[in-house]
Every structure is written in C-alpha cells, then in structure tokens.
Amino acid sequence: MTKFWFLLALSLFIAGLVAGVITNNWFIVPTALIVAGLMLGICSLILGQKNPAKFWQARATEAGINTIVATISVLVILVLINFMAIRHSVRFDLTEHKLLTLAPQSQAIAQNLTQPLKVWVFDRNIDQDLKNLLGNYARYSENFQFEFVDPQIQIGLAEQFKVQSFGEIYLEYGDKRQKIETINNDFGANIFEISITNAIVKIQSDRIFTIDFLQGHGEPELDAREGGFSQAISQLQDQGYRVRGLNLITEGKIPNDTDVIIIAKPLRKLLAQEVTLLQQYLKNGGKLLIMLMPDIDPGLTPILQEWGINLDNRFVIDASGVGSTWGFGPGVIFVTNHGNHPITSSFGSGISVFPDSRPLNIAEKPDITATPFVITDNNTWAESNLAPQEIAFNSKEDLPGPLNLGIALSRENNSNLPPSQMVVFGNGLFATNGWFQQQLNGDIFLNSVNWLIGDKSLTLSLRPKEQTNRRINLTPAEAVIISWTATTIMPMLGFIVAGVIWWRKR
C-alpha cells in the first residue's frame, strides 16, 4: 500500500512539472500538483517505517527533512522570481544609441493612442527584428496591435488591403488605412522605427498642415544639398507636412492654407511690403519660425522689436575649449541648457550644436510671453571684434554669457483668433544639411515646428536615432593578414610561449 501512495505522489509531482513547463504558468494547477505530490510522498515514507518514533529521532531523518524544506524553499523562491519578472520586466539596452529601446517620441505616441491601432505585415516569413520592434510598441499601449499575414494563405485579407508584393506593411486606425513606406537598411530595425512612428503621426492627423519656406532673399532652395535644408524638409514631409516655397513678391499675399512660415537663413533684407504682410499674418494668429545668420540685417527689426526681441550683431564665442576637442573652432557652441519649454522639455542633459551664432536679447512686453530654450553657459561671450588672431574677452565691449540663442514667444489675441506664436534663433546653420543630424539639432527644429503647429496629436520629444556605421571596409590583402593573424600567427605564438615555459620548468 505504501508503494502505491509513493507512486501516486511521484505521478502528481511529475504532472505538476510537466504542466508548468508546457503552459509556462507555475501557479494554481502546477503548483498544487507539485505540493500535493511532495506532501503525499513524505506521508508515504513516514507510513512505510516500522517504528515511526525512531524514524523521527534519527539523524538521517532530520537531514532529509532539512533537505526537503530547503528544496521547497528554493522552488517557492524561483516561482516568486518568475512571477515578478513577468509582471515587472526590466530590460537593459547597452547599445550606443539605445537601438533596442523605442525613442521617447515613439513611446509617447504609443502611450497616447486613444483607440486601437493595428499594424498588418503581409509576408511569407516572420521577420524577427520587425516582430521585436512591434512588440516594443505594444509594451507601451494595449491599443497597439500587430499581426503577420501570409498573403498566399489569407488571400481575401490581402485583397482587402490591395497587397501587391511580399513585405508590404499597413496601418489600420479606425476607418483609415495607410501603407508604410519601408526603408532598406543594412543596420536593422531602428531606421524602420522612424517609418512606423511617422506613419502613426500621419494616420492620426485630421488634416495636412502646410509649411512655407520664405524665398527670394538668398535663402537656400528647398532641394539644395549644399548648405540647404533638404534633410529637415524630408523629415517634415515624413511627418505628413506639405512643404512649399513662398515668394511674397510674386505671390503678393500669404496663402490662406499656410500654417507656419519659416524664414531660414536670409542673406538680404526683406522689402517693407513683405514685412507688413508678415506683421498682419501674425496679428491674425499666424506662426513664424525665424533662423538668422550673424552680422546680417534681414530687415525684420519691426517685427522683432514689436515682439520684444533685439538682435545683437556680436559673434558668440566659446572659450571652454570643448569645441576644439571635437575638431571645431571657438565659434561652434555646444549647448546643454535648454530652458523650460515644451519644445525641449524631454531633452534632459542632451547636447545641441550651434555654429556661427548671434545672441538674442529680450525686452519685456506686457502681452508677450518669451521663453529662452537654447542658452549658452558661462564660458561663452558675444565678441565685438573678430579681427585679432587671439580673441579674448573685453569687459568694456563684449557681452558675457550665458546668452540666448533660441527663444519661443506667444501672444494672446483679443479676438477669437488663436494665439500668435513665433520662434527665433540667432543661428541659421544648426538645421542645415549635416548639422541637422548633429546631436539634438533635428529634434529642436522639428519640435519647434510642431509647437507652432499646435496639433495635440503631435509629440514634442526625442526621435529615433540612426545606428552609427561601424563597419570597416578591408582590402583583400588586409583581410588575408587579419585571417592569418587570427588563425595561424596568434595560435603559433601561444604554442611557442607554452613551449618556452615548459622548457624552463623542465
């Protein structure tokens, strides 16, 4: 009879282990079976003894009981650890740009989903990198869902989405459907995160916003590659904005569908008529983004002074030597103070880079709220004389830091019009091609535009970053040398050293 109870206990214990392994759930049924098996096994061992009293007094019994208690304790601890790990998972991303973690902007967009959004991936095979990426989005919102579909099996579903080829990806949000333009990239899924995040922003937007770049005063053409804004414009278009060039001389007016006007890097003065049009545009609730070069008068003084901004013609210098460490001169300013404004609220201690800047001074206006959000540190000053070979601070002529390089301004209108807003930078280069991708420069520019747009669906945060290309291109000769070094020379050196040591100790 004792053997029967022992076999039953063993069966219950094994059944609990099998149930836990298969279901990956160690609670209720698996745990109950394991505990029942252990208890029944202990009882069967006790009942099988001829003299139970001596059995309990034996040292072997005491040791066995201690072993059983310790084993049960370890199992309980492992179960609790597994439970906590499932409920409160912790991940560590040690990659350079946190490539395995969603960017703050992507996280915020996923968390702010107000209704279910589903990603449909039509492909024969499941891309594990893409699956992991979509799973990261789903971690931040129950409204984010995704499904991989084989279009050769689920033909009807593929026809509903009008799938033309394998690998097509679609977003479904309410009654909207949108195809995601995929990007072929050698570095994996991080670049693709940009596509997904931008697609979510697009499909959530109720209308297409229009950004007009002012032209006709020496500003770069929209498609200019050298010193232009094509990288910034490409990012704006990826977010669903319509980007146009605007020449007020030929147009004679500001189009009714203009949402934001960008005056980027003008090299000549605007005409008085253009300034008047811009002033009227601002009075009617307009939004204006201005990026100015040092020592150039753009003719915008009437607008800037009306809003409490005074341009300083001096050139901002950094004497800390930080720029020289990275191969830049003293005219390249590294900024870590981004004030307290929604444009830069998520930047933390991040860095932005501003080459060739002029300071902006604020004169208080009763109806204007001005907030600096690009501020240099105490090691900078505004230099009035760049002629000497060795530039030094002159307390009589120069302006000591900290200095304002970027200011956000708002003005409430008395009528039913929306508030007028303006962002002014004492720098025209930070968002140009090349500089746009430096540190937080692109985020500052895009967040400034999004803040001016004022759409609540837009998130002012840090965007996904590209993986740095760390690959080394080797010539055939270099590849052969490395191969021989790794497979022949180094092992031979190891044998020689071992032989020498053996010979000396022989």
- Within 10 angstroms of residue 221's Cβ, the number of other Cβ atoms is 12
Q: Which pLDDT does position 104 carry in this prediction?
A: 79
Q: Calculate mean pLDDT across residues 85-94.
A: 61
**Is residue 426 within 8 Å of 399, Cβ to Cβ?**
no
Give pLDDT tens digits for 186-219.
Answer: 434 344 787 888 888 888 877 789 999 999 999 9
Name the average pLDDT for the chain. Answer: 83
How many other CB atoms are found less than 10 A from the CB of residue 259? 20
| More confident call, 360 vs 128 | 360
More confident: 350 or 278: 278
The class that CATH gives domain 104-201 is: alpha beta
Q: What percent of the chain has pLDDT over 70?
A: 83
Q: State mean pLDDT over 318-334.
A: 84
pLDDT in the model for residue 92: 61
Asked whether the predicted pLDDT for residue 85 surpasses 80, the reply is no
pLDDT, mean of residues 137-150: 91
Q: Give me the pLDDT at residue 95, please.
A: 58
12 pLDDT higher than 50: yes
Q: What's the rounded Cα separation, in Å, for the pair 188 and 184?
A: 9
Percent of the chain with pLDDT over 90: 38
Provide the pLDDT for residue 291.
Answer: 96
Is the confidence at residue 243, as pLDDT, over 90? yes
Please check the confidence at residue 400 and state whether its pLDDT lies above 80.
Answer: yes
Residue 140 DSSP label: T
pLDDT at 306 (0 to 100)? 94
Q: Show Cβ contacts of residue 271 under 8 Å, excluding neighbours closer than 6 positions.
A: 249, 299
Is residue 278's pLDDT more than 90?
A: yes
Task: Check pLDDT > 50 for residue 246.
Answer: yes
Backbone angles phi, psi at 309, to 5 degrees: -110, 125
Query: Given a cut of 90, is residue 316 above it in pLDDT?
Result: yes
> Are 36 and 15 within 8 A, CB to CB?
no
Residue 335 CB neighbours (<10 A) = 28
Contact 37, 9 (CB under 8 A): yes
Q: What's the average model confidence in pLDDT over 64-68?
A: 70
Q: Which residues pair with 148 in a beta bridge?
A: 121
Note the pLDDT of residue 26. 63
* Selected residue with higher pLDDT from 236 and 61: 236
pLDDT at 332: 93
pLDDT at 505 > cutoff 90: no
What is the reported pLDDT for 86?
Answer: 62
CA–CA separation, 392 and 317 (whole Å): 9
pLDDT exceeds 70 at position 96 = no
* Distance from C-alpha of 12 to C-alpha of 6, rounded to nearest angstrom: 10
What pLDDT score does 93 carry? 59
pLDDT at position 191 is 47
Q: At what angle do helices 29-47 and 2-23 cross, to 10 degrees?
A: 160
**What pLDDT is recorded for position 97?**
56
Q: Give the pairing type, strands 210-214 and 242-246.
A: parallel
| Residue 327 identity (one-letter amino acid) | G
Q: What is the pTM (predicted TM-score) of this model? A: 0.67
Q: How far is CA 235 from the centre of its chain?
A: 14
CATH number among 2.30.29, 3.90.930, 2.40.50, 3.40.50, domain 206-453: 3.40.50
* Confidence check: pLDDT of 126 > 80: yes
**Model pLDDT, residue 185:** 44
Amino acid type, 14: I
